Structure 1
Amino acid sequence: MLFKGMLVVWFIFTSSVGFAKDWQIQMLNYGSGTEGMTFEPAFIHAQLGDSITFVPSHSGHNVQSYVVPEGESQWKSALDQTYTIQVNQEGVHLYYCPPHLMMGMVGVIQVGDAINLDALQQKAPRLRSKVALKPERMDALLEQIVTQ
């Protein structure tokens, strides 16, 4: 009987946290192809409880949130440091590399449904106005957001 109870507890625990994924996003001077100053992947569709680790594959990069879902805290990494966040609210995260924003180094994380789309649509143009090179990169990322 004790074994069956322990098995039930183990199943419940592994069902709720056992399937969380750890995404790796590389911060690169040059990505695949000819894209300079980029995150790879630059768009991910994560699930609640997933963690996202930003890896500075080249020096001179860090990552900072610009838009986060309600209930999530803004975040910013130190320069040249690996940084991990856990996503616990549905919605869209828009983030960028502060030293390379003007070069279009931006990324998007969608967690479940894009419930904060209105806030994102209000704030994104302000960030885009600071991108001097490749502003269409940000447009392409925002177009990947899945809405219902």
Structure 2
Amino acid sequence: MEDDTLSRRNFLRGAAGAATAAGAVAAGAGNAAAQATADGSGTVEVGAGDQGLKYTPGTDEPLYVTPGTTVTFDWVSGGHNIVVDSQPDGGGWGGHEPIEDEGFSHEFTFETTGVYEYYCAPHESVGMVASIEVVETLPTPTPQPSGPPEVPDSAKSLGVASFIAMVTTLGLAFFFTKYGGDYEPPEE
């Protein structure tokens, strides 16, 4: 007859297997994001971010593409341009210096490997600078450790209220059990 109880060892084996599977799925998702620009196209949002003063990707981290990739620059807010600061010899990218507004697009096919640095002339002083790196092989992204899940404030409030209700109920039960039992039996 088999023992159907769950041992600690079997539980840990199952948990380790589940964690490994989740890690493999997360790593696969990260690699897919890195290879998205290897299909011959890529997109940069011009004027993105909280203040509308970033190239995304490009400002916080470079956009990596392979030679022959056509990158589309989509303006998502107004008053921006693309001024090429530096590029490899033979790069031939002229950027797009006229100021444009939301809805405008500009494309360029990057053929020469190297680093292309560019900025927005009206917003360079506040950090609207970016770079594109044309490489033969795309870098493999490092998986980011996931932290604990975020708990909404409403759930925290509900948890505190439930805790208070349970403590109050236990306190009242203790009080009535200890001090509330002085009743005389009913007379017949």
TM-score by length of 2: 0.45
1:82 to 96, 105, 118: 105
Measured against aligned partners, the alpha-carbon deviations of 1:86-108 in whole angstroms (never above 9, x if no partner) come to: 11111000011111101110111
Measured against aligned partners, the alpha-carbon deviations of 1:42-66 in whole angstroms (never above 9, x if no partner) come to: 1111000001111111010111111
> In structure 1, how many angstroms separate the alpha carbons of the residues matched to 2:52 and 2:66?
28
1:37 is matched by which residue type in structure 2?
L
* 1:65 is aligned to 2:81: no
Q: CA deviation at 1:84?
A: 1.0
Q: CA deviation at 1:20?
A: 4.0
2:41 to 22, 32, 44: 22
Structure 1 outlier segments of 4+, above 4 Å: none
Task: Pick closer, same or farther for the CA change 1:49–1:74 going to 2, 3 Å.
Answer: closer
Assess if the C-alpha contact under 8 Å between 2:52 and 2:77 holds in 1. Answer: no
> In structure 2, how many angstroms separate the alpha carbons of the residues matched to 1:48 and 1:89?
6
2:125 is matched by which residue type in structure 1?
M
When structure 1 is superposed on structure 2, of 19-28 and 53-62 the one drifting more is 19-28
> In structure 1, how many angstroms separate the alpha carbons of the residues matched to 2:52 and 2:110?
27
> In structure 1, how many angstroms separate the alpha carbons of the residues matched to 2:134 and 2:95?
19
TM-score by length of 1: 0.56
Structure 1 residue matching 2:67: 3-state secondary structure? coil
Q: CA deviation at 1:35?
A: 5.8
Q: Aligned-pair RMSD on alpha carbons?
A: 1.8
Please list every run of 5 or more consecutive structure 2 residues that lacks an aligned counterpart in the other structure. 1-37, 137-188
Identity %: 25
Q: CA deviation at 1:76?
A: 2.8
2:99 is matched by which residue type in structure 1?
L
Measured against aligned partners, the alpha-carbon deviations of 1:69-122 in whole angstroms (never above 9, x if no partner) come to: 111124131321421111111100001111110111011101116xxxxxxxxx
Please list every run of 5 or more consecutive structure 1 residues that lacks an aligned counterpart in the other structure. 1-18, 114-148
2:57 to 15, 20, 41: 41
Structure 2 residue matching 1:72: 3-state secondary structure? coil
Assess if the C-alpha contact under 8 Å between 2:93 and 2:108 holds in 1. Answer: no
Number of equivalent positions: 92
Q: Which of the pair is proportionally richer in helix?
A: 2
Partner of 2:70: 51
